[in-house]
Structure 1
Amino acid sequence: MKKEENNSSRRDFVKTAAVAAAGFMIVPRHVLGGPGFIAPSDKLLIAGVGVGGKGQSDLTGFARNPKAEIAFLCDVDERRAANSVKNFPKAKYYKDWREMFDKEHRHFDAVSVSTPDHNHAIITLAAIKRKKHVYVQKPLTHDIYEARVLTEAAVKYKVVTQMGNQGSSSDGSRKLTEWYNAGTIGDVHTVYCWTDRPVWPQGIPWPASKSEVPKELDWNLWLGTAPYTEYVDKLIPFNWRGWWDYGTGGIGDMGCHLVDAPFRTLGLKYPTEVECSVGSVYVDEFKRGYFPESCPPSSHVTMTFISEKQNNSPVRLHWMDGGIQPERPLELGADEKFGDGGNGVLFVGTKGKMLCDTYGRNPRLLPLSRMDDIDVPETLARVPEQEAGHYTQWVDASIAGYGKMELSSDFSVAGPLTETLLIGNLALRAFDLRLPVPNSANFRYPGRYKKLLWDAKNMKVTNFDEANQFVKRQYREGWELKV
């Protein structure tokens, strides 16, 4: 063979081999891994903080999406974590989220926070500052100030966010908005939201007896940002909701599920005024109990908004808990259920009324006979699988990246909604605020006769400065929110 032919053959061989190699390199990764294979680089690695109870169901919700992998688990109580540890055996377990963040932050992409309310903000902000996408159980935060901080931080650090009020992904909430936008009930001037919560003790004194800390629980870590106190039995895993140091009462527990529908339907933002009344607790035949550490057993909070969707007309939203309900509308039949019984939302407009259950479920016009004639087209995109899809939506959006997908309850919506609910709590705490009268052994309750005027931009009450102590609490030393 001539030298030129030999060189040509070699070149052809090299060229052919190179093409073959290139073809091998661009074979889709799902082919290499078989049908349904998702490359590790296309998965969202999630660290769960607070993995018992609702945290456990959150992780299960994420794991339904094949693109999600539960990589780390963190819980201060080994008893509460046990099921998640069993369900996700490959996930590494920690008790202290700070240690997990420090050691493992390079090995996860996102964080799910489902701790008691008082520790939401400190964990979430630490995750955001590490540019981790975050899913946070409702309410987003314990304090008004914290909600504003997280809302702004999500934008600053460009992370994908979602709050765990799954009803915001429901078809019902979108149908209510479509009916309203179509003018079906006219302009809405009044909304009632009510719940049978609390279903835990409230309006009671702090337990006098102390108990031994269970060996599986790190009590100091559970307290986190809250003032130190000795462990008491039956506070966890559920009854902490009724104490101001840890929980946010009925409105914190159910407000994000009930107020969400009118909040987004009417395009509300922040209230301008808030007032309230609370149920009484009697410790004997004549004397009312005063337990400032505990949320009231029942309450009625009224907030006024200015609706830009209605030419800046006022909308009054009534929140009722502890079994208090609004008057049944005349259009509702005697045997027809009001909301879902214990909970519900009623919109009162200039041309009619509409009603729904918790999570925006079962929307209907009143009287129900109007449902036979309603024909409003769908204009809003639906979330596949609705409430279950609330989890999938966040996983997919996190993989896509900041700003690439619309979410039902990202912090731009969840933050103002949470602030609104916590302004209601601010009114409740101010209502029962005892201040001493100078040179007197008596006390006065100046908050009781006040309608509080709210300056949303500056996050402050303008006509009763004593109430502003509840906008931002004092954190325990070493547990401050580092903005």
Structure 2
Amino acid sequence: MKEENQNKDAGRRAFIKSAAVATAAFMIVPRHVLGGKGFLAPSDRLLIAGVGVGGKGESDIANFYKSGKADIAFLCDVDTRRAANSVKNFPKAKFYKDWREMYDKEHKNFDAVSISTPDHNHAIQTLAAMQLGKHVYVQKPLTHDIYEARALTAAAKKYKVVTQMGNQGASNDGPRQMREWYDAGLIGDVHTVYAWTDRPVWPQGIAWSENKADVPAELDWDLWLGTAPYKDYVNKLVPFNWRGWWDYGTGALGDMGCHLLEAPFSVLNLKYASEVQASVGSVYVDEFKRGYFPDSCPPSSHVTLKFPKTDKTKGDITVHWMDGGIQPERPEELEANETFGDGGNGTLFIGTKGKMMSSTYSANPRLLPLSKNKDIKVPEKFARVKGGADGHYGQWVEASIAGYGKQQVSSPFEIAGPLTEALLMANLAIRGADIQRKNSDGRAYFPGRNIKLLWDNANMRVTNFDDVNQYVKREYRKGWSLGV
């Protein structure tokens, strides 16, 4: 360990002296010369490598830099079009297209990695960073598969690195306030939770395009595919619509589930579900035939997860997930013109003595009826994160500088892992409901049926419907391995 630290220090010194980070080199001037207050020595700053630096990745690394305690040392993206703004904003950061090359050549010159790539490549990029001893910030959902989520949860502890999933609402005041209300007994014992979203806002329930297109010169298509099976490039998949295809994305659950179910996990101390059932919406190809598109997530779904009793509940908890615009029945305590959740998204807790709800990112928590909120007098017992959702970034930066186990973060893998697994288990039920069946004459039909899956958590297997176990741990494309 001593030799490893010496190598890291040597690498840092070499990196600071390089032309690529000339501004960082300036910081080696003695503290007294610079006037003291507000100055951070190089050893007090986090050097970050960004993997996937367009779109959400662009805003992620910008927020780390805004914390005032981080430098963006390296940039990596398979698409130079998407990376253009980040390259412009951080001209001193060296750019790579292949994250593997960056890790191999530069691992002594950065401390942490921010990963904001499509879901199917999260795990392989994250685990490789942790195996190098790097702290990691990973966009939600943590992984594409249940097996991957379990592996990263274990790896965070094994490699003793600071981890954070990018569900910013975990750092909002909302989850903490609802925990305080719940612990004070304001709504009694919660037995049922509803979460809903207006996603998807990208195409789902459609056939894969048969129109092969030319790969843009700026995009490395093979690297973008990564662990996924090879397919010819098609238009309108990159940079956003991949979310609706099972090979790459995790549908509406993957996009919004971590935001909307963070509060139930936090308030009720949920861990792993024991069973799940789902029904999915169908798609009409024409007025006589329903479509079946197994490669694409369905346009809507209703999933019911059952969680075993926790130290915060008196019995099992039932969690309903609804997407595609489906919403639960409005609570009778909510007046006709009062907004349910935030309109398109929300979370509702139902207890034995009352109800409470919140908006996206667990924001704006409210007791029902709304008139009760003006008289709430519950002491604040959970420390707030400075800056709330925006502070999610700086919180991880500071914890990474302090080192493993020194400071708390809101969504470490020990919490984010089980949360992600619940979403992916829900997706098992969605895929199970969408599995093609045959009539006696061999014709395919769209099932659209409701199934229940029983989950063996220790062995990560569905015990009553083996067809879906293939999705617990998918097979990577040849040449790619998680390396567990």
Which TM-score bucket, shorter chain as reference? over 0.9
Higher alpha-carbon Rg:
1
Which residue identity is paired with 1:475?
A: Y
Q: Which residue in the other structure is 1:189 paired with?
A: 191
Cα distance in 1 for partners of 2:125, 2:291 equals: 35
The alignment-based identity, stated in percent, is 69
Q: Which residue in the other structure is 2:32 paired with?
A: 31
Task: Give the direction of change, closer, same or farther, for the CA distance of 1:474–1:435 in structure 2 (3 Å limit).
Answer: farther
User: By how many angstroms is 1:440 displaced?
Assistant: 5.5
Is the CA contact (8 Å cut-off) linking 1:431 and 1:445 kept in structure 2? Answer: no
Unaligned runs of 5+ in 1: 1-27
Cα distance in 1 for partners of 2:283, 2:476 equals: 29
User: By how many angstroms is 1:372 displaced?
Assistant: 2.2
SS in 2 for 1:313: coil
User: By how many angstroms is 1:159 displaced?
Assistant: 0.4
Q: Which residue in the other structure is 2:273 paired with?
A: 271
Cα distance in 2 for partners of 1:374, 1:352 equals: 14
Is the CA contact (8 Å cut-off) linking 1:29 and 1:38 kept in structure 2? Answer: no
SS in 1 for 2:57: helix
SS in 1 for 2:348: strand
SS in 2 for 1:152: helix
Q: Which residue in the other structure is 2:143 paired with?
A: 141
1:220-299 map, 5 Å: 220-299=222-301
User: By how many angstroms is 1:31 displaced?
Assistant: 1.9
Does 2:219 correspond to 1:217? yes
Unaligned runs of 5+ in 2: 1-28
Task: Give the direction of change, closer, same or farther, for the CA distance of 1:312–1:148 in structure 2 (3 Å limit).
Answer: farther
Cα distance in 2 for partners of 1:138, 1:41 equals: 29
SS in 2 for 1:348: strand
Cα distance in 2 for partners of 1:275, 1:286 equals: 28
Q: Which residue in the other structure is 1:117 paired with?
A: 119
User: By how many angstroms is 1:442 displaced?
Assistant: 4.4
Which residue identity is paired with 1:426?
A: L
1:377-392 map, 5 Å: 377-392=379-394
Task: Please report the TM-score for the alignment, with normalisation by the length of structure 1.
Answer: 0.92
Cα distance in 2 for partners of 1:312, 1:478 equals: 49
Q: Which residue in the other structure is 1:352 paired with?
A: 354
Q: Which residue in the other structure is 1:457 paired with?
A: 458
CA deviations over 1:240-276 (Å, ceiling 9, x no partner): 0000000000000000000011111011001111001
SS in 2 for 1:309: coil
Cα distance in 1 for partners of 2:91, 2:380 equals: 43
Cα distance in 1 for partners of 2:446, 2:189 equals: 37
SS in 2 for 1:307: coil
Cα distance in 2 for partners of 1:310, 1:133 equals: 31
Is the CA contact (8 Å cut-off) linking 2:173 and 2:385 kept in structure 1? Answer: yes
Which residue identity is paired with 2:457?
A: A
User: By how many angstroms is 1:445 displaced?
Assistant: 8.1
Is the CA contact (8 Å cut-off) linking 2:280 and 2:298 kept in structure 1? Answer: yes
Does 2:304 correspond to 1:336? no
CA RMSD after TM alignment: 1.6
CA deviations over 1:376-405 (Å, ceiling 9, x no partner): 110101000111110000000001000001
Is the CA contact (8 Å cut-off) linking 1:29 and 1:37 kept in structure 2? Answer: no
Cα distance in 1 for partners of 2:142, 2:186 equals: 32
CA deviations over 1:179-234 (Å, ceiling 9, x no partner): 01111000011100000000000000001101111111100010000001110001
Does 2:449 correspond to 1:441? no
SS in 1 for 2:380: coil
Which residue identity is paired with 1:450?
A: I
Q: How many residues align?
A: 456
Task: Please report the TM-score for the alignment, with normalisation by the length of structure 2.
Answer: 0.92
Moved more, 308-317 or 221-230: 308-317
User: By how many angstroms is 1:317 displaced?
Assistant: 0.4
Cα distance in 2 for partners of 1:260, 1:454 equals: 21
1:2-41 map, 5 Å: 29-35=30-36, 36-41=38-43
Which residue identity is paired with 2:332?
A: L
Does 2:447 correspond to 1:482? no
Q: Which residue in the other structure is 1:6 paired with?
A: none
Is the CA contact (8 Å cut-off) linking 2:149 and 2:418 kept in structure 1? Answer: yes
Q: Which residue in the other structure is 1:47 paired with?
A: 49
CA deviations over 1:30-63 (Å, ceiling 9, x no partner): 3233343211122110000000000000001100
Task: Give the direction of change, closer, same or farther, for the CA distance of 1:449–1:300 in structure 2 (3 Å limit).
Answer: closer
Is the CA contact (8 Å cut-off) linking 1:430 and 1:447 kept in structure 2? Answer: no
Which residue identity is paired with 2:442?
A: A
User: By how many angstroms is 1:436 displaced?
Assistant: 5.4
Does 2:129 correspond to 1:127? yes
